[in-house]
Amino acid sequence: MSNIFTPRQGNNPNRTSPALPGGGWLSLPLVAAAIVGLVIWMSYTPIDEGEVGVKLRWGQAVDTLHPGFNIVMPFMESVVLFPTRTQKFTPPQALSTYSKDGQVADVTVSVNYHIDPAKAIEVYSRYGAGFVDTVISPTLNKRFKEVLGRYDSREIVNKRKNLGDELEAEMRQNTPPIIIIETVQIENIDFSDAYEQAIEAAAQAEALVRKARQELEQKKIDAERVVVQATADATARVTAAKAEADAIRLRGEAEAAALAAKAAALRDNPNYVALTAAEKWDGKLPTTFVPGSAVPFVTVPRGGNP
């Protein structure tokens, strides 16, 4: 007689069920539920803001996934993420090339870029996830050498902004439009030590020349100021002398006119002298007379009655 407490094995007496660590047995529904849960967990693919996903099915790009909750089929589908925020690419080593005048320049350049989210599938299909290495880096290297070769070494230093603007325009023109070039910056420029010393010496010499020119111009200005002041002083003195001469002449002419007027008066009126003397007489007769002289200002008519 069989033991009623012995677990039944069905038709196969050798069949066993998975054992739990505590000695129990797992049921098939529980195992199935665990597998389903694992599949669902593996299907969940979150995408953050600032990213876009390209869904691949058996390696073929089939859809674009946007930020949020997304479901993919495990083992059959996968997701490649692309950042949509501005990214910065700086070559690991400075770009080295020759300037127009044959000087070697090592330049550190950086490129800010992003991709068009609506073109993510096209970016992946044409260039793959490593499009920076296959598109941006070689384009930058080529266009950098072309642009820098148009400038001599002094222009590279003095026209750094123009160089960056021209390189930026070249990058935008020669990069596929699905990859958007925002800005290009020239971060650092290095020449050989000997050439940098020569540039510094030339800059110092040029500064000395500018200083000498400024001093010469200042001396010219000072000399012109002295000439102007002397001319003004001389003009003032001439003006004063002329004014004095005119005054003397006018006084002489006035005195001559007065004398002429007096002479005319004496000539035309003999009694003018007596009138003038009478006007100036104070009414007193002199106390002393010279013998034979007449009483001053007293006219005695002749032949008249006393």
Q: How far apart are CA 143 and CA 125, in angstroms?
A: 25
Whether residue 124 sits in one domain with residue 99: yes
- Residue 285: what pLDDT? 60
Token pair belonging to 13 = 């007496």
Domains contained in the chain, number: 3
Token pair belonging to 188 = 């650092």
Q: For residue 106, what is the domain's CATH number?
A: 3.30.479.30
Whether residue 246 sits in one domain with residue 170: no
Q: How long, in residues, is the chain?
A: 306
Residues 73, 95 contacting (CB under 8 angstroms): no
Q: How far apart are CA 202 and CA 208, in angstroms?
A: 10
Residues 177, 135 contacting (CB under 8 angstroms): no
**The model's pTM:** 0.52
Residue ending a domain, among 142, 158, 191, is 191
Task: Classify residue 21: in a domain, yes or no.
Answer: no
- Residue 192: what pLDDT? 74
- Residue 20: what pLDDT? 46
- Residue 172: what pLDDT? 93
Task: Classify residue 236: in a domain, yes or no.
Answer: yes
Chain-centroid distance of CA 101 in Å reads 28
Whether residue 169 sits in one domain with residue 218: no
Give me the phi and psi of 154, to 5 degrees please: -65, -40
Q: How far apart are CA 273 and CA 267, in angstroms?
A: 11
Task: Classify residue 58: in a domain, yes or no.
Answer: yes
Chain-centroid distance of CA 1 in Å reads 104
Show the CA angle centred on residue 16, arms to residues 12 and 20, nearest 5°: 160
Token pair belonging to 216 = 């010469």
Show the domain range for 51.
28-83
Task: Classify residue 257: in a domain, yes or no.
Answer: yes
Q: What is the pLDDT along the chain (306 residues), one digit of tens a residue?
A: 444 334 444 444 444 444 444 444 557 776 666 665 565 555 667 787 888 988 888 888 888 888 877 767 777 878 888 998 999 999 999 888 888 888 888 899 999 999 988 899 999 999 988 999 999 999 999 999 999 889 888 888 788 888 889 999 999 999 999 999 999 999 888 887 767 676 677 777 777 788 888 888 888 888 888 888 888 888 888 888 888 887 887 887 777 777 777 777 666 666 666 666 666 666 666 666 556 655 555 554 555 454
Task: Classify residue 119: in a domain, yes or no.
Answer: yes
Residues 148, 166 contacting (CB under 8 angstroms): no
H helix or E strand, kind and range, residue 186:
strand 179-190
Whether residue 182 sits in one domain with residue 170: yes
Whether residue 145 sits in one domain with residue 103: yes
Task: Classify residue 280: in a domain, yes or no.
Answer: no
H helix or E strand, kind and range, residue 73:
none
Q: How far apart are CA 86 and CA 30, in angstroms?
A: 48
- Residue 79: what pLDDT? 86
DSSP bridge pairs for 273 = none
